Structure 1
Amino acid sequence: MKLKKFLLRYYPPGVILLYEQQGQQYQRTLDLLDLRPGTDVEALVNQILQSEPLLTENRRHHLFKLINKLIEKQKCSADKRHEFGLLRVLRAHVLPLTNCAFNKSGSMFITGSYDRTCKVWSTATGEELHTLEGHKNVVYAIAFNNPFGDKVITGSFDKTCKLWDANTGALHYTLRGHQTEIVCVSFSPQSDMIATGSMENTAKLWDVEYGTERSTLYGHSAEIVSLHFNTQGNLMVTGSFDHDSRIWDTRTGTCVHRLMGHSGEVSSTQFNYGGDLCVSGSIDATTRVWDVRMGKCLSVKQGHTDEVLDVCFDSSGTNFVSASADGTARVYSTRTGACLDTYVGHDGEISKVSFNPQGTSVITASSDKTCRIWDVASSQSTGVYNGGQDSPTVASSGEGGKCAQVLEGHMDEIFSCAFNYEGDHIITGSKDNTCRIWKAK
C-alpha cells in the first residue's frame, strides 16, 4: 500500500487517506469525532501513528498540521455566530410545498409539492433550473444523493419513486412496486441504493445503477414514516406507526433488531455518524436511544409534554435534539444522557429540527409561521482518536438555550428547514407555497 494524498473533512472532523494498492485507488478515513480545541494534538498524533499502518513517522509533521487546521476551523466556527438575512423569496409552486433539501455544496436545492412536481433551484440566483414532472399525485418525499449531488429521488402518493439527473432534469427510472403512497425516501451514503417507505407497511431497497428492486423489507404492521441509512450503508433503521423501529441488513433485506418500547407511533429515527447508536422519537412524547449492535434501549428521555415529531443527531454524534408538539426542542448529550438545553419560545408545534454542520446551532421549524435559530450549549471532550470505539464522556458547560434569531415572514406553517454544508445558508419551506433562502450576513 502506498499513501498518495491527505484530504480534510471538516464536518464531522476527519482525515481521508487516499492510497494505492496493486494499481487500484482506495481511501480510508480517520474519524476524529471527538476532536475539540482543547485536544492534545501531540498525543492524538502518537495514537494515530501507532494504530494506522498507512502512516509512518515521516508523516508526523504533516498530520500534526492537518489536525491543527481542523481545530482552527472549529475555533472559527465557535467564535463566529451567524446572523441570517433574507436573500430571496421563491414562489416555488402553485400548491403547498411538502419538503425542501440542499445538495451537499449548497449550490442547488430541491422542493417538492402537492402540485405533483419537484423543482431544482440555484441557491445563488434563485433561478428555477429544472421542473421534474411526471408524477400523478403529490410529491411528498425528496432527496439528493449527497455527498455527490448529481441525482434526485422523488417519492409520491402515486405509489412510485422516480430517479432523476440533478444536472439535466432527465428521468433515469421510475421505480414501481409499492401498493400505496410513498412517504419517505433516502439514498445510501455510497449512492448505490435507494430506500422507499410506504403506507402499506413495507420498505423497499432499489439499485441505483439499474433501477431494479433489491429487496422488500417485511415486518412492520403499520405504515413506515421514517428511514435512515448508517454511514457505511450496510444497515438501515425504519420507524413505524406500529410503535416499533427496526434495524435492517441492507445486503440481505433481513431484520437485525426489532426496537420495542414506545407506547405510541414512532415519528422519526436516525443513526449517529459512528453507527453504534440510533435515536427514535414517538407520539408517546419520549425519545429513546438504542444500542445498534445489541438492539437494546440505553435510555428514555421523558421531558416533553406532547408528541415528539422529529429527532436528529449533530454531524459528529456528540449531541442529539428532539422537537415536539409542545412547542419546545430539547438537546441531549449522547454520552451522558444529560439534557443540555430546552428551547422555549415557539407558539406552535415544532415539526422539524436540525443542527448546523458545525453543531453550534439548532434550527427549528414551527406551525407558528417562524423558524428559530438557537445557540447550542458548549461541551468539552478529550478529543482522543479511538479507532471507532466508544467516545469519551462529554461534559456540558451548562451554557446555551438562547434563541439567537427568529426567521419571520412566512404566512403559514413552516414544515421544512435545512442548513447547507458550510452552515451559511438556510432554506425554509412553508404551506404558503413559498420557500425562502436565508444567507449569513
Structure 2
Amino acid sequence: MKLKRFLLRYYPPGVILEYELRDKNRETKEIDLLHLTPETDVQVLVNQITFEEPLISESRKPQLRRLIYKLIEKLESNDSSDYYLFKILRAHILPLTNCAFNKQGDKFITGSYDRTCKIWRTETGEELLTLEGHRNVVYAIAFNNPWGNKIITGSFDKTCKIWNADNGDLYHTYRGHATEIVCLSFNPNGSLVATGSMDNTARLWDVESGECLHTLLGHTAEIVSLNFDTPGRKVMTGSFDHTVKVWDARTGRCIHTLAGHNGEISSTQFNYQSDLCISGSIDRTCKIWDVPSGRCVHTLRGHNDEILDVCYSATGSRLVTASADGTSRVFNTMTGACQSILIGHEGEISKVAFNPQGIRILTASSDKTARLWDAETGDCLQILEGHTDEIFSCAFNYSGDTIITGSKDNTCRIWKCKLTFSNASIVTLNSLG
C-alpha cells in the first residue's frame, strides 16, 4: 500500500488518507481527531498519529503538521462575529414546514403547506426550482448530502418523492405508507431512503429502483423521528409509543428497543462515532443510550416542560436540548452534567442546532426570534429579529457563516456572518503522487 494524498475533513475534524493498493485501486482511511482543540500540542499529536499509522512515514510529518494547524484554524473561525439579515424570501403562499441546506451550503430547500418544495441559491436568494406534484403538505425534506444532487420530499399525501436537484426531474414516487410521512433521511452513501409515518411504520427504499426493501414493524404509535448512523448500517426511530428502536438497515431487523421514557419521543440523533444516541421526550427528559448494548447511560433532567428537540455537536462531546419551557440546556455527553442553561426566549424552543465548530448554538422559538448562544457559558450573543410569527426551523450551513430561519409568517430569512470565510466539506490539500 502506498499513500497518495491527504484529504482534510473540517467538521468533525479529521484527516483522510487516500492510498493505492497493489492492484492500483484506491481506498481511503479516516483518522478522527474529535478531541482536537486550539490548545492541542500538535507535535505530540503528529508523533502519536505517525506511530500508530504505518501509511504515514516520518517524511510526511511536516505535511501532517500543517494539516492539523489548518484544522485548528477552522475550529477558531467565526468565533465572535455577528450575523446580519441578508435576504427575506417570500418563499411560499402558505406557511413553511421545514428548511435544509445542501452540504456545500450554496443551496437550500423549503417545504410548505402549499404542497411544494422550493430550491434556493444561498448567495443571491434566487429561487431556482419549484418541485410540484404532491397532493398535500410537503412536510419532511432532505438533500442526499454530501453530493446534493438529489432531494427527497415526504408528504401528508402518504407518498415520498425523489427529485433531481439540478433540473427538478422526478425520479420516483414511493408509495406504501397508509398515512402521513413526517420524517425521512438519506443514508450516508445516498443509496437508501428511510421514511417514518403516522401509520406506526418506517420503510427503507432503494434510491435507484424505487423499490421498498424493508418495512420496519414494531412500534405501536406514530413514528416522528428517524436517523441513520454515520456508517449507514443502523437506523433509529422515535415514536409516540414512548420507545426508540434501533434497526439493522441491511436486513430491517430490530436490534434494540430503547425503553424507559414516560412520554412520547420528540427527537433522536446518533453521535458521530455512532456508539451513542440521544432521545428527547415530552416527559421532560433526554436520555443517552449506549448503541451496542441498548443500555441507558444517562437520564438528563432539569426542564420543567416537554423537550421538543435534541442535537449533538459535530464531535459528539456536547449535546443540547430544546424545551417548551423556553430554555435550552447544554450537557456534557460523557458525564451527563449540565454545562449551561440558555435563558432568554419568551416562548417554547422548537429547534436547536450547533454551529459546525461546536462553539455556538442556534435556537428557534415561538416568540418570533432566533438566538445565538455561547455553548460554553450559555450567554446570549445575538437575537435574530424580524419574523412576524413563530420560527420553527433553523440551520447553519457547513462552514457556519450562513443561517436560515423558517417561519409560519411564510418567509425564510438568510443571515450572513459579518466576518465571512469559505470551506469545502472535504478539501484536498496535498497530492503525494
Bucket of the pairwise TM-score, normalised by the shorter protein? over 0.9
Tell me the secondary structure at the aligned position of residue 66 of structure 1.
Answer: helix
| Structure 2 match to 1:4 | 4
Distance in 1 between residues matched to 2:157 and 2:71, nearest whole Å: 46
Percent identity at matched positions?
A: 64
Tell me the secondary structure at the aligned position of residue 176 of structure 2.
Answer: coil
Superposed, which structure 2 residues align to 1:121-270 within 5 Å? 121-270=120-269
Amino acid at match of 2:369: T
| Structure 2 match to 1:427 | 404
Superposed, which structure 2 residues align to 1:18-417 within 5 Å? 18-21=18-21, 22-77=23-78, 80-377=79-376, 400-417=377-394
Aligned-residue offset at 1:402: 0.7
| Structure 2 match to 1:418 | 395
Aligned-residue offset at 1:422: 0.8
Distance in 2 between residues matched to 1:265 and 1:58, nearest whole Å: 56
Distance in 2 between residues matched to 1:45 and 1:210, nearest whole Å: 45
CA offsets, 1:320-375, max 9 Å, x none? 00000000000001112211110011111000000010111101001111101101
Distance in 2 between residues matched to 1:108 and 1:425, nearest whole Å: 11
TM-score scaled to structure 1, two decimals? 0.93
Amino acid at match of 2:38: P
Tell me the secondary structure at the aligned position of residue 73 of structure 1.
Answer: helix
Distance in 1 between residues matched to 2:130 and 2:242, nearest whole Å: 37
Distance in 2 between residues matched to 1:137 and 1:51, nearest whole Å: 55
| Structure 2 match to 1:383 | none
Aligned-residue offset at 1:146: 1.1
| Structure 1 match to 2:425 | none
Distance in 2 between residues matched to 1:232 and 1:56, nearest whole Å: 28
CA offsets, 1:246-287, max 9 Å, x none? 111101111111100000000000000011100000000000
RMSD across aligned positions (CA): 1.0
| Structure 2 match to 1:16 | 16
Contact 2:219 2:241 in 1 (8 A): yes
**Unpaired runs of 5+ in structure 1?**
378-399
Tell me the secondary structure at the aligned position of residue 134 of structure 2.
Answer: coil
Distance in 1 between residues matched to 2:62 and 2:368, nearest whole Å: 51
Structure 1 residue runs of 4+, over 4 Å off? none
Amino acid at match of 1:98: T
| Structure 2 match to 1:396 | none
Aligned-residue offset at 1:76: 3.6
Aligned-residue offset at 1:214: 1.4
Distance in 2 between residues matched to 1:303 and 1:214, nearest whole Å: 41
Distance in 1 between residues matched to 2:227 and 2:374, nearest whole Å: 26
Contact 2:299 2:336 in 1 (8 A): no
Distance in 2 between residues matched to 1:215 and 1:40, nearest whole Å: 48
Distance in 2 between residues matched to 1:112 and 1:75, nearest whole Å: 33
Contact 1:280 1:311 in 2 (8 A): yes
Tell me the secondary structure at the aligned position of residue 47 of structure 1.
Answer: helix
Distance in 1 between residues matched to 2:356 and 2:72, nearest whole Å: 15
Contact 2:76 2:357 in 1 (8 A): no
Amino acid at match of 1:58: S
Contact 1:94 1:115 in 2 (8 A): yes
Aligned-residue offset at 1:58: 2.2
Is 406-415 or 58-67 further displaced after alignment? 58-67
Distance in 1 between residues matched to 2:216 and 2:339, nearest whole Å: 37
Aligned-residue offset at 1:73: 2.3
Tell me the secondary structure at the aligned position of residue 98 of structure 2.
Answer: strand
Distance in 2 between residues matched to 1:146 and 1:410, nearest whole Å: 29
Tell me the secondary structure at the aligned position of residue 6 of structure 2.
Answer: strand
Amino acid at match of 2:5: K
How many residues align structurally?
417
**Unpaired runs of 5+ in structure 2?**
419-433
Contact 1:102 1:109 in 2 (8 A): yes
Tell me the secondary structure at the aligned position of residue 48 of structure 2.
Answer: helix
Distance in 1 between residues matched to 2:70 and 2:91, nearest whole Å: 40
Contact 2:284 2:301 in 1 (8 A): yes
